[in-house]
Amino acid sequence: MLYGEIELRDIPLNIPKYYQQVETFLKPFGLTVDRLLERYLGAYYNDELVGGAGYGGDVIKCVAIDPRMRGEGIVNTLISRLLSELIAKGLANIFLFTKPANRVMFEDLAFHTIICTDDVLLMETDAKSYPRYLDSLSALRTDGGSCGAIVMNANPFTLGHRYLIEQASDACDRLFVLVVEEDRSLFPAAIRKKLIQAGTADLKNVSLIDGGSYVISGATFPTYFLKTAHVATRAHARLDAMLFCTGIAPALGVTDRFVGEEPLDVTTATYNSVMAETLPAYNIQFHCINRLEKQGAPVSASRVRALIKQDKLVDTAALLPPTTYQFLCSDEAKPIIAKIKNSDSRH
């Protein structure tokens, strides 16, 4: 047994030397470090990094063990330690993002499979969480007729979003708008949702649903929240698309999925193309709706945020439904506007 000589150490990723050490260690495993990894725990043997695991938000990831050190219980120790830290933070459900080959190992470590694609495996500790989310969706389902779905972040809700929802609402008997719940955007989830609600109140066949942890979240699509395109974006988009096709869409009875055309943002464009490839096999129609244009350019939330950043709040009125514009002019929006002015985030 080597066990006594294994030493666990926190690896401070904010120090470039250590960041590079982790990057080099993970490379042979086909894993990459990203900005969303907030904590990394290393297992050292004779001062050499032989194993590690980390987390960002409620997702454990970048778990890797030197093949020479397998069978020593190092993964158990690493995962146990990270789990207890996350549990101490008060998280009820903890996710794990890993490779499909690790499925059996993690099923023995308190994790349950949510979905497995060719490239990635997503698991969670709470065996009931995903089935319960699907049950809650099934309760909203109405059979017969066409049922559309749109996933949107709406950061914030613009006339472009409104146009997409109108097109979909016209084309379907019923339309579900799934709102991205992950709080990594400049506009908090509760406000994004409130503005969509206010801006679509007149459309009677539209219902809003919380995306929860299973629709574009830090667990299903971590790279969505990174500023730049990432090598893993396609694999993550595929995982999210598979969850939609195999779980969410059947639970809601979705027949049609709508997305907005994406000429600029690489991540969203990748997501759209993966959706277009995946949906037909599950008998879901894919519709890509052209962008609404105003003043010679597509209306987008990033254009609105750019105007706010340039102190041109008045100019956003032409791009926004009155409900969103009124919100931006209210006191409640002041901290968000201040945040936008100080940020260079994609979100």
How would you classify the pairing of strands 121-124 and 112-116? antiparallel
Pick between residue 127 and residue 231 the one whose CB is nearest to other proteins.
Answer: 127
Contact 69, 92 (CB under 8 A): no
**Shortest separation between residue 73's beta carbon and other proteins, angstroms:** 6
Contact 189, 208 (CB under 8 A): no
Pick between residue 107 and residue 293 the one whose CB is nearest to other proteins.
Answer: 107
**Shortest separation between residue 28's beta carbon and other proteins, angstroms:** 26
Pick between residue 37 and residue 75 the one whose CB is nearest to other proteins.
Answer: 75
Q: What are the residues facing 293 on neighbouring strands? A: 298
- Establish whether the linkage from the previous residue to 263 is cis, with ω within 30° of 0: no
**Shortest separation between residue 71's beta carbon and other proteins, angstroms:** 12
Neighbours of 16 (CB within 10 A): 9
**Shortest separation between residue 79's beta carbon and other proteins, angstroms:** 6
**Shortest separation between residue 179's beta carbon and other proteins, angstroms:** 24
Pick between residue 36 and residue 110 the one whose CB is nearest to other proteins.
Answer: 110
**Shortest separation between residue 265's beta carbon and other proteins, angstroms:** 36
Give dist(CA 94, CA 58) in Å, integer.
5
Give dist(CA 115, CA 117) in Å, integer.
7
**Shortest separation between residue 78's beta carbon and other proteins, angstroms:** 10
**Helix axis angle, 159-171 relative to 189-200, nearest 10°?**
60
Pick between residue 111 and residue 157 the one whose CB is nearest to other proteins.
Answer: 111
Closest to 29 (Cα-Cα) out of 1, 4, 66, 83: 66
Binding site for other proteins (CB under 8 A): 73, 76-77, 79-80, 83-84, 87, 92-93, 107-110, 125-128
**144 token code pair:** 């017969």
Pick between residue 72 and residue 256 the one whose CB is nearest to other proteins.
Answer: 72
Largest distance between two CA atoms of the chain:
70
**Shortest separation between residue 126's beta carbon and other proteins, angstroms:** 7
**Shortest separation between residue 43's beta carbon and other proteins, angstroms:** 14
Pick between residue 132 and residue 341 the one whose CB is nearest to other proteins.
Answer: 132
Closest to 220 (Cα-Cα) out of 148, 99, 138, 115: 115
Burial of 211 (0-12, 13-18, 19+ CB in 10 A): buried
b (16+ CB within 10 A) / e for 288-317 = ebebbeeeeebbbbebbbebbeeeeeeebe
Pick between residue 83 and residue 180 the one whose CB is nearest to other proteins.
Answer: 83
Nearby residues of 204 by Cβ (< 8 Å), 6 or more positions away:
none
Pick between residue 123 and residue 292 the one whose CB is nearest to other proteins.
Answer: 123
Q: Tokens 């929860």 identify what position? A: 212
